């Protein structure tokens, strides 16, 4: 029987089994798992030619605030007011909250009228000079105690007009704010407050006894 010419016979069966793609068969597109309505997972094929990129969500950097330790107080300030109905008392009362805010890093105490009267009775040379702002230099006290220079008194009862009392209070606030890091506060008091014309209203605390500035 003559052989059929090449290519005219029935086609040969592919060696690939049913359901198994051949070596050169195109691969199916990747599938995405997504939850279905019943809580399970279903597969959805993305459209051809679409590249799906799911980058990891970067965590937001947590800003850490720089820690700043609280500033150590330099002064301990006492307001001594026995209750004279003076212009200085009214000026001080009206501006006390502002003084407190301006010097919130310092230790500020407002003595009661009873405590103020008791203090002035023990130091009778102060009668008629209050309201008094007593400033204690904690740095000087730590180094030398109270036997040497350790602060000053501002006698607001000496100014006679509201303007003079306000200027004295403003000068005090500025002085304390600008000299809280001074290495020689006593010298600064003698030079700066003398220049401001406050000789009669300022007494230096020296040897536990207030000494008028200029003596």
CB 127 within 8 A of CB 180: no
- Phi/psi for 147 (5° steps) reads -80, -15
In a domain, 70, yes or no: no
In a domain, 192, yes or no: yes
120 Cβ contact list (under 8 Å, min separation 6):
80, 82, 126, 127, 130
> How confident is the model over 206-213, as a mean pLDDT?
54
Q: When comparing pLDDT for 36 and 97, which is higher?
A: 97
> How many domains does the structure of the chain reveal?
1
Q: What is the mean pLDDT of the chain?
A: 74
In a domain, 145, yes or no: yes
| Tokens 């040969």 found at | 12
Using DSSP, state whether 171 is helix, strand or coil.
helix
In a domain, 111, yes or no: yes
CB 154 within 8 A of CB 171: no
Whether 65 shows a pLDDT value over 90: the answer reads no
> Which of 37-41, 79-83, 191-195 holds the top average pLDDT?
79-83
The whole domain housing 131 covers: 75-212
From the CB of residue 214, how many other CB atoms can be counted at a distance below 10 Å? 11
> How confident is the model over 72-77, as a mean pLDDT?
88
Q: When comparing pLDDT for 138 and 9, which is higher?
A: 138
Of the listed ranges 20-29, 93-102, 137-146, the least confidently predicted one is: 20-29
In a domain, 13, yes or no: no
How far out from the chain centre does Cα 59 lie?
A: 28
- Round to whole Å and give the CA distance between 200 and 189: 13
């Amino acid at each position: 029987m003559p052989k059929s010419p090449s290519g005219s016979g029935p086609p040969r069966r592919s060696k690939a089994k049913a359901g198994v793609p051949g070596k050169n068969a195109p691969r199916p597109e990747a599938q995405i798992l997504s939850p279905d309505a019943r809580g399970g997972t279903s597969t959805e094929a993305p459209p051809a030619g679409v590249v799906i990129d799911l980058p990891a969500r970067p965590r937001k950097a947590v800003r850490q605030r720089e820690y700043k330790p609280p500033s150590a107080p330099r002064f301990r300030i006492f307001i001594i007011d026995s209750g004279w109905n003076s212009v200085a008392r009214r000026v001080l009362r009206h501006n006390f909250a502002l003084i407190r805010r301006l010097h919130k890093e310092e230790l500020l105490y407002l003595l009661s009228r009873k405590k103020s009267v008791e203090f002035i009775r023990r130091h009778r040379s102060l009668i008629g000079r209050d309201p008094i702002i007593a400033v204690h230099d904690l740095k000087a006290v730590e180094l030398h105690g109270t036997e040497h220079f350790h602060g000053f008194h501002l006698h607001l009862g000496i100014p006679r007009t509201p303007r003079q009392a306000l200027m004295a209070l403003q000068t005090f606030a500025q002085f304390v704010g600008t000299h809280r890091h001074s290495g020689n506060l006593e010298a600064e008091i003698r030079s700066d407050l003398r220049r401001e014309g406050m000789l009669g209203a300022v007494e230096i605390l020296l040897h536990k006894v207030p000494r008028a500035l200029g003596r």
